[in-house]
Structure 1
């Protein structure tokens, strides 16, 4: 009797495992199709499949907790799902200068403090479409350009898409696809101006500088500066427009889907994003950020990050430029 029961249980477990494997096979094929994934060899695909399964499991376990109200955000099996943790960490692209080299601006002394309770510059049609930096470490260029695009729109009216590739190729103060710092990039922009992205298209890798002054949009900028403190950054966003902020990205953040991210962080800031607004839900305050990882990430390229707790150093590295 014992032996018969054992074999029945074993048969049931094997049947469940076979069903799960068939289900994963189907999801794997669908995922590859959705994200147009192709691999150079069978060995490479097997490795990627194993990595994908690990990330798939992590996402499912996290979302079960989110569905139970134990997490404030959800994850998804997106285009990063076949990448290892080491590969994702290698995308780090934020290289801050020494603290003594930074010039801070304090917004808490401004007469318009405090700002509105909710701000979203997308409502004013002054935020360009979500872009994708690819596997080039150029987040610093995207957050710099995003700041300028929005503030140019707020100041002068038209929303113009500008060239991140110009900064990757031509800004000698930064390191192209190997990382950089928005404040340094603002100096380049102030001196040379910016070409439109239609005239200097993004490639996702560094090339020789092809800047043409005759096609550049000249910017009248009074100064560029750094901000520290979430109150200061919020005021700058509310009254001057979107700006670049740094973030200490943990692996979990790569798989963010929706909700308010409030969890793990890297040991130090390693990514630059664009703060386009802020708000609150059920007494939970958050930043609205535009990322440069394409529309597959987050809520069509946007995300919410818990505010006023300096999560992942988001309040330590604000950078902006004043247009006149």
Structure 2
């Protein structure tokens, strides 16, 4: 029924505080919303028939088509990754017996992970991994400035709001330190670098884990803490909601399709299916309050273990 659809669109618009510039834009957004809603309903019908393993839902991105979403939220470019001399730190001894590794872990529940923010770029996993290492070392959780990385790390090879990667973000923090979110708050746009801000800490280096090795990644998450990771995001990923485990047949095997970065904050299994627990930067309407379970030990699904790293404090 058109009236029900229109009311649903209006309530979603209100819920996510969507403001459109004119009537034409509103009509366009409504059209996109209904197209997305149709795809979500068709997918969830397959889910109910056990033809899909995960659910989709209406979230803050429901009025955007995938091309627009890609241009505003997927700025990770694997061709930009350049490992500097600073990543030469030896990997800590991760050769623990498999029996010594917990079957599940959730660093957010342990207090080592900051709240979910809506920042839409690829700098937050590098920042988030530093926040978690700071917590593990000093038992204090401080939100660090993503905006500082956006504004100030271009000389390290990042491209402001357009594109950025973890290695260059770590390089910046090694050379310059990093300030707090309070002192250098997020604006979501490219600003002039405020080089006079107060620094909280410098990092010594970072460790790049073996590419595609989910077993080593598991040990690192258990022993080290949250790990920054690149992955591929598809049109299906952005519509993912709920507590089911995301396994997307549309994901490619090639790492050339990696386009986003997340923070792996844990792992576990549910009804015999193993998963990585990730924290995203798209607000709390994505996944399960901004977190999501991604299929684990399914052939490096969506390249979740291809480009994984953590900082040394």
* Cα distance, 1:169 vs structure 2: 0.3
Alpha-carbon distance in structure 1 between the residues aligned to 2:29 and 2:82: 44
Asked if the contact 1:149/1:162 (under 8 Å) is kept, the reply is yes
Shift of 1:99: 7.5
What is the Cα deviation at residue 291 of structure 1? 0.2
DSSP-derived class of the 1:155 partner: helix
Look up the match of 2:265. Answer: 276
Residue in 2 that maps onto 1:238:
222
**Cross-structure match for 1:262:** 247
CA–CA distance in 2 between the matches of 1:30 and 1:39?
Answer: 14
Q: For each residue in 1:40-65, what CA deviation from the matched residue of structure 2 results, as whole angstroms up to 9, or x when unmatched?
A: 11111111111000000111111122
For each residue in 1:186-205, what CA deviation from the matched residue of structure 2 results, as whole angstroms up to 9, or x when unmatched? 11111211101000000001
Structure 2 residue 144 is the aligned partner of structure 1 residue 162: yes
Q: Shift in Å at residue 109 of structure 1?
A: 6.4
Change (3 A) 1:55 1:112: same
Distance in 2 between residues matched to 1:99 and 1:212, nearest whole Å = 28
RMSD, aligned α-carbons: 2.0
What secondary structure sits across from 1:89 in the alignment? Answer: helix
Q: Give ranges in structure 2 of 5+ residues lacking alignment.
A: none
**1:216 and 2:199 matched:** yes
User: How big is each residue's C-alpha offset from its partner over 1:221-254, in whole Å with a ceiling of 9 and x where there is no partner?
Assistant: 2x21222221122111110110111111001100
SS of the equivalent of 1:75 reads coil
Equivalent in 35, 41, 44 of residue 16 of structure 2: 35
| 2:50 match | 69
| TM value normalised by structure 1 | 0.87
Q: Which is greater in Rg?
A: 1
CA distance in 2, matches of 1:35, 1:205: 20
CA distance in 2, matches of 1:282, 1:150: 29
Report if the CA contact (8 A) 2:264-2:277 is conserved: yes
* Aligned match of 2:278: 289
Q: What is the SS of the residue equivalent to 2:278?
A: strand
Is 1:198 aligned to 2:182, yes or no?
yes
Residues 12-51 of structure 1, C-alpha deviation per residue, up to 9 Å, x if partnerless?
xxxxxxxx11211111111111111121111111111110
Question: Aligned equivalents of 1:163 and 1:270: distance in 2?
Answer: 22
C-alpha separation in 2, matches of 1:305 and 1:72: 11
Q: Which residue of 1 aligns with 2:119?
A: 133
Name the SS of the counterpart of 2:257 in structure 1: coil
CA 1:121–1:165: 2 relative to 1, 3 Å: same
Say which structure is richer in strand. 1
Is the aligned partner of 1:150 residue 2:132? yes
Distance verdict in 2 for CA 1:305–1:105, change over 3 Å: farther
Deviations 1:60-92 (A, max 9, x none): 111122223322211111111111121122232
Normalised by the size of structure 2, how large is the TM-score?
0.90
Q: Distance in 1 between matches of 2:7 and 2:80?
A: 50
Aligned mates of 2:32, 2:218 — CA distance in 1 = 38
Instruction: Tell me which of 24, 48, 51 is aligned to 2:29.
Output: 48
* Structure 1 residues 220 and 108: CA distance shift in structure 2, 3 A: closer
Q: Which residue of 2 is the match for residue 13 of structure 1?
A: none
* 3-state DSSP of counterpart to 1:144: helix
Task: Provide the C-alpha distance between the structure 2 equivalents of 1:153 and 1:109, rounded to a whole number of angstroms.
Answer: 21
